[in-house]
Chain A
Amino acid sequence: MKKFRNRVWICAVALLLAMGNTAHAQAGSAAADLKAATAAAPTATQMSQGDPGGTLTGTINDVPVSNAKAGVTVGDVANQVGQNKIAINFVWTLVTGFLVMFMQAGFAMVEAGLCRVKNANHTYMMNFTVYACGLFAYWLIGFAIQMGGAAGNGNLGGLATLAPEHMITLFGTHWGLWGTQGMFLSGHTYDVGVMVIFLFEMVFMDTALTIVTGAAAERWKFLTFCVSSVLMGAFTYPLFGNWAWGGGWLSALGSNLGLGHGYCDFAGSGVVHAVGGLTALAVALIIGPRIGKFNKDGSSNAIIGHDISAVLVGCFILAFGWFGFNPGSTLGASAAGNLRIGTIAVDTMLAGCTGTFGAILYMWIFKGKPDAGMGANGLLAGLVAITAPSGFVNTVSAAIIGFIAGVLVCISVAFIENKLKVDDPVGAVSVHGTCGLWGVLSVGLFADGKSNYGGAWNGVTGSVTGLFYGDASQLVAQLVGIVTLIGFVFTFSFVLNWILDITMGQRVSAESEVAGLDLPEMGQLGYPEFVFKPEPAFMTMAEEGAVA
């Protein structure tokens, strides 16, 4: 027995020695490789001749060295690899954020084009000013509420300073309500990774804010619009954004209650579009319809926009920007399953395509003409609907989701106008509200369980899987998200804007409305050299119909 033990010991020691030698040999080999690469690297003389073929630039010479005497080490190379991963993700996230920022131009063109020429300056100015209002409010406090507890994103270097999340304990589980770090981006949040996520999240927030201006166009008092937008950027949007994306309670429905992977909204059908669309409905309800929109018997009059070319070009700008919106929401292009960006981009363009077909075919078949305005809204509807599921579905599902959205937007526009008697000049409530909610729901139906961003989503291991692929609990999580959007976000927006209506008034005077808001509210006509065509009588019966 003793002999056997001795043999075991001898074998173990021999094995360790052998492993040590192998490791030493590997390290030695790596060092030798680095030395050889250094020796083979282009010399200063070669570099001074220029590099027209691009074969000399970007070699071991460009790896920063921590110790000049030792030359390039394995540690230097590893550090450079880490730096490159984060750099790729930073650049990806920033560039896609810039694309989303440019969507503001598309929104401005679509909304102004769908409004009358007498309100062009006012509508453009709302879309312009909302950028400043939202950005300022988000910098002050909105970002802290939304992302101030969202530490742990490996794509952007960890974002360790964004913690902790403010939590409450209910029924024995912890529920995140809002973040606590990041006001003014000062203190520990003066950090390169935090700046990147701030920019990206900020442009998303501004997209939500600019949706509201469309539904309230042609009658919204500019002062109240400014205050309302600041408050939305500071509180309404960030609260729901935290619950869904900032480590809040909706994202924890999976880990806390076993509901799939919690509320899943890849790029914001709910967080951005439904929040914007439902707030738009709240404001449109409070502010009332434009003069002349409805007749005594409740039937509605079409109030035609002034520039369909601006609408269609604006839509293409938006579709272009959407390639920032959805693929950018991976927050990186390197590591953690981020190579799925190609699928996400194709899903996005396909849903926009089928959304266009859905709306055009619906209008052509049921109304007789392939209506340009509704075609534009169909494209946007498809894009809005695919925003939440774009990271989790295949191309066939994306096409189905987009087509349904295209049809849905036509039905919704008619329902909101004819049944609810709500005046939404650009169809913002239908495009962003209705189709945003449809997008959230579609994750719970169509997610195919094939996309796995680093092994887990919302802290639950595995891939997001919808009802059609075997997980009914994901659909419940999505329904909870939808109820929250309607029950909390809409109600909160309604009450907030109701208070503003009581204190400062939401609507311009009837006199200004009839004259057009460009001169009374902005002091300058959008198109000063145009000769305005007189409007029909029903659109100018302001004084007798108006009440104080």
Chain B
Amino acid sequence: MAANKSQGRSFGLFLGGLTATCAGIAAFSSGMGKAALVIGLVVLAASFFTFIKLKPLEGKIALGSQPALMKLVGAVVTAGGWLLTLFGLHLTTSVGARMVIALVGLAISLVGMIGILPAACNKNAIWKA
């Protein structure tokens, strides 16, 4: 399936829902704001429901399945290096030690980003078949 009217409608719904949600957040202290937030969230949910309904109509795509668990591990490791750095900065006031902590965190994040995740995303790549 290529671009069509249903996709256009669902995107319009998404934009409308996001606008109402943001208006609700901006005016949350008022009754109207709360109502707008609820309406916006409902419309946003509806737009995602239509996205899900439209997805299978796309037809065959040139992409193999990517193992979800491995992707999740990659994302966790990438974020883990960052969190390690953040908390490590508070363990010492030495510039040298903080630099080492930042470099260790960076190395861990890089393992996740350019080690695990590309391997996960290419595990069942169609060009391998």
Contact = CB atoms under 8 A, between A and B. Distances in A.
Contacts of A475: 99
A295 B61 contact: no
A476 B81 contact: no
Interface residues of B, number: 63
Contacts of B1: 509
Contact of A487 (B55, B81, B127): B81
A226 B11 contact: yes
A177 B85 CA distance: 17
Nearest to B74: A494
Contact of B7 (A223, A293, A482, A543): A223
B61 A547 contact: yes
A221 B7 CA distance: 11
B69 interface: no
A505 B61 contact: yes
A482 B64 contact: no
A150 interface: no
A316 interface: no
B52 A289 contact: no
Given A223-B10, A483-B106, A487-B105, A296 B128 contact: yes
Given A296-B127, A491-B78, A547-B60, A476 B99 contact: yes
B38 interface: no
A255 interface: no
Contact of B127 (A289, A482, A519, A542): A289
B102 A476 contact: yes
Closest 7 CB pairs of A and B: A487-B82, A520-B2, A504-B51, A509-B59, A479-B102, A183-B26, A546-B60
Interface in B41-78: 48, 51-52, 54-55, 58-66, 71, 75, 78
Interface stretch (A279-287, A307-315, A375-383): A279-287
A411 to B, nearest CB: 13
A510 B109 contact: no
A190 to B, nearest CB: 13
A259 B98 contact: yes
Interface stretch (A53-61, A136-144, A200-208, A325-333): A136-144
A422 B3 contact: no
Given A223-B3, A295-B127, A494 B60 contact: no
Choose among B19, B83, B126 the residue with the greatest number of A CB atoms under 10 Å from its CB. Answer: B126
A408 B128 CA distance: 29
B75 A547 contact: no
A259 B114 CA distance: 28
B35 interface: no
A508 interface: yes
Interface in B6-22: 7, 10-11, 14-15, 18-19, 22
B116 to A, nearest CB: 11
Given A483-B85, A547-B63, 9 more contacts: A136-B15, A285-B117, A298-B127, A480-B102, A483-B106, A486-B78, A487-B78, A504-B51, A508-B61
A223 B1 CA distance: 12
B70 to A, nearest CB: 12
Contacts of B39: none
B11 A141 contact: no
Contacts of A521: 2-3
B22 A141 contact: yes
Contacts of A523: 3
Contacts of B65: 547
A545 B127 CA distance: 8
A287 B59 CA distance: 15
A459 interface: no
B95 A281 contact: no
A487 B99 contact: no
Contacts of A504: 48, 51-52, 54-55
Contacts of A513: 62
B129 A545 contact: yes
Contact of B75 (A472, A495, A511, A522): A495
Given A223-B7, A230-B15, A483-B81, A503 B117 contact: no
Contacts of B114: 420
Contacts of B103: 479
22 contacts: A183-B25, A219-B62, A223-B3, A223-B7, A223-B54, A230-B14, A285-B117, A291-B62, A298-B127, A422-B118, A479-B85, A480-B86, A482-B106, A486-B81, A486-B106, A487-B79, A487-B81, A494-B78, A503-B55, A508-B61, A509-B1, A521-B3
